[in-house]
Amino acid sequence: MLGLPIVERELPYIDLRDDAVRRRFEEFLSNVVAETYGRYLSGVLNVNYMGMPGLLFYLDDEEGPLLEVLVAYSEDRVRYRISLVRPFVSEAVVQRVIRLLEGALRFFAETGGMGAAYFVFVPGRQLIPPRAESRAKRALQSLFLSNLVFLFAVSIAFSYAIYMLFGPHYTPIVLILSQIPIMLASYKIVPLMMGDWRLDSAHRYVYLVGLKMPIERYQELLQKVFLPRRYELKRRLYSASLGRGEEISEELVRSLLAEYGVAPEEYEVEIRKIDLYGIVERVARRFGVSAPPVYLSNIVLPNAAASGVGWRLTSLVVTTGLLSRLDEEELEAVIGHELSHVKRHDVVTFFILSSAEYLTRVYVALLFWPLFMTFLGFIYFWLSLTVFFIIAKFVEARADIDSALIVGRPAKLASALRKIGFRHLLIERSIGGRLMAWLRWDPHPPVSYRIEKLEELARRGGARGAWSEAVSSCISDLLRTFKLALAI
C-alpha cells in the first residue's frame, strides 16, 4: 500500500460477524470490482489493515497503474480507502470508484449479496393475491397510486369547484372539512389499495419460502423460471404440502425446482412460518387495545403502517418485504411502534396539526398578500412546513419510545431500523446529512438518531415519560446537530 490516500470513509451497521458471511462478502466484492473493471483490475490481495482483514484492489488504465482501493472490515462496519498511485487522477475516476463501492456495500448490507425470490402462502386464503387478479383493483391502483398527473388534476378541479361555491375566505375551511370522511374511512381505503390477504384468528400464519442464490444466477432464473412460472410453482408447492395439511419441507422445494432445471447446489432454501396475527394480538394486549384487522401486502418494500383514527376504525398493513427482513422479535417491536399510533390516535393528531398549519398559512397569506408575493412569502412557507414536520417528528419519536417501554425490546427496534433504514444511515453519516434529515419534510426523525435513542433506552432500562423524552431528545439532538454543522 504505497499510494497517496485521498479518500477514506467508514460505513457502519454492516453485519459481518459470521465467518460464512465474511467469505461471501469478500467473494461478492471481488466479483463486483472484477466485472466492473475487467482487464483494468491488475491484482487483488488479502491484507490486514489496522487489525482488520480486508482486500486491496489494484486498478489500472491505459497508461498503467492508477489507484489502490482498500476495503477492510470488522464485525459491524466497513472502511474503504482510495489511494493515488500516480498524480493527476481526475475527480470523475475517483467518484466512479466511490459510487461503485458504496453501491455494492449498500446492496450487500440489504441483501447479503444474494438475490432472493420468495413464495408467500396464507393457508386458507387465495393462493394468488386477489389484488393481482382483480382488473378493477389494478385499474384503481394505476389511476390513483401511479398516475400523479391524474391526482393533481382531480385535486385542482375539486379545489376550484369549492372556491367557486364558497369564495376565498371559506374555501380553506371547507377543504379541511372535506378531508374528515377520508380520514375516517382510511382504515378501509388503505387495505383496499394495498392489502392482498386479510389475517384473522383462523388465518393467522404466513409461510415464506425463500430461495437465495448468487445475484448473477438469480437474474437468469428470474427471467427463465421465477417470473413466467411463479403461479404454477406456487400452486404445485401448496398442493403438495399445505393443501394436504402438511408443512412445506426443503426436500419438497428442491425436488420441485429440479423439475425446472434448477440444480439443488445453486441456491439456499429458507422456510419460515410466522404467526403474524398472533404477534399483533400479543402486542395489542400489551398496549391495552383491541387487535386491529391485519392485512398482508405482497410487496418487497419493508414496511408496516397503521391507518385510521383509532378505536375500532383502524387497520394494520404489513408487507412481505418486512417479514422477509426481520425476525419475530424485531417484528414485535415494529408493530409496537404502529400500535402506539393507534393507542394515541396519532392520525387525528396529525390531522389537527396539518389543518392548523394549513389554515394559519392560508389566512396569513390572505392578510398580507402583497408581502407573500416577495421572497419573504417563500421563507414563511418553508418555515411553516419545516416547523410542522419537526413537531411531527416528536410524534414518531414518541412511538419509538412507547414501543421500547411497552413491548420491552428497544434493541430489537434499533436492529430493525438498521436493516430497513440503511440507505438513510449512509446519508446521515455526515453532520450535514443528519441536519438535512431533521429539516426535511418527512415526519420521521433521522434514522441514526432513532437508533441511538433506542440503544440509550436499552442501556438505561427506561424513560421518564414517552412524550417528554421524545420532545426533549429531539430538540436536543436537532440543536446539537445544527451547532456542529455551523462549526464545520
Domain-embedded: residue 181 = no
- Angle of helix 328-343 relative to helix 375-406, nearest 10 degrees, comes to 120
The residue out of 87, 112, 137 marking a domain boundary is 112
pLDDT value of residue 298: 94
Q: Into how many domains does the chain fold? A: 3
How would you write the pLDDT of the chain (488 residues) with one tens digit per residue?
Answer: 555 778 999 998 888 999 999 999 999 999 999 999 999 999 999 999 999 999 999 999 999 999 999 999 999 999 999 999 988 888 999 999 999 999 999 999 989 999 999 999 999 999 987 666 555 555 555 555 444 455 556 777 888 788 888 888 889 999 999 999 999 999 999 998 889 999 999 999 999 999 999 988 999 999 999 999 999 999 999 999 999 999 999 999 999 999 999 999 999 999 999 999 999 999 999 999 999 999 999 999 999 999 999 888 999 999 999 999 999 999 999 999 999 999 999 999 999 999 999 999 888 888 888 777 788 888 988 999 999 999 999 999 999 999 999 999 999 999 999 999 999 999 999 999 999 999 999 999 999 999 999 999 999 887 789 999 999 999 999 999 999 999 87
The residue out of 52, 81, 112 marking a domain boundary is 112
We report the CATH number of the domain holding residue 9 as 3.30.310.10
Domain-embedded: residue 368 = yes
In this structure, the answer to whether residues 382 and 440 fall within a common structural domain is: yes
Domain-embedded: residue 165 = no
Place of cell 391485519: 294
In this structure, the answer to whether residues 107 and 120 fall within a common structural domain is: no
Domain-embedded: residue 206 = yes
In this structure, the answer to whether residues 121 and 95 fall within a common structural domain is: no
In this structure, the answer to whether residues 269 and 330 fall within a common structural domain is: no
pLDDT value of residue 97: 96
Domain-embedded: residue 191 = no
pLDDT value of residue 146: 47
In this structure, the answer to whether residues 339 and 453 fall within a common structural domain is: yes
In this structure, the answer to whether residues 429 and 352 fall within a common structural domain is: yes
Cβ neighbors of 231 (< 8 A, separation 6 or more) are 127, 128
The residue out of 112, 138, 169 marking a domain boundary is 112
In this structure, the answer to whether residues 8 and 106 fall within a common structural domain is: yes
pLDDT value of residue 137: 58
pLDDT value of residue 1: 53
pLDDT value of residue 198: 97
In this structure, the answer to whether residues 229 and 266 fall within a common structural domain is: yes
CA distance 280 to 287: 11
pLDDT value of residue 167: 86
Q: Under a CB-based contact definition with an 8 Å cutoff, are residues 45 and 39 in contact?
A: no
Q: Which domain holds residue 374?
A: 326-487
pLDDT value of residue 390: 97
Domain-embedded: residue 310 = no
Neighbours of 161 (CB within 10 A): 11
In this structure, the answer to whether residues 336 and 272 fall within a common structural domain is: no
CA distance 408 to 264: 41
The pairing of beta strand 64-73 with beta strand 114-121: unpaired
Whole-angstrom CA distances from 342 to 13, 184, 276, 306, 315 are 30, 13, 18, 7, 9
pLDDT value of residue 5: 73
In this structure, the answer to whether residues 375 and 448 fall within a common structural domain is: yes
In this structure, the answer to whether residues 46 and 121 fall within a common structural domain is: no
pLDDT value of residue 308: 94
Q: Under a CB-based contact definition with an 8 Å cutoff, are residues 323 and 208 in contact?
A: yes
pLDDT value of residue 147: 47
Q: Under a CB-based contact definition with an 8 Å cutoff, are residues 479 and 471 in contact?
A: no
CA distance 11 to 425: 9
Domain-embedded: residue 255 = yes
In this structure, the answer to whether residues 65 and 121 fall within a common structural domain is: no
Domain-embedded: residue 455 = yes
CA distance 420 to 451: 12
pLDDT value of residue 131: 65
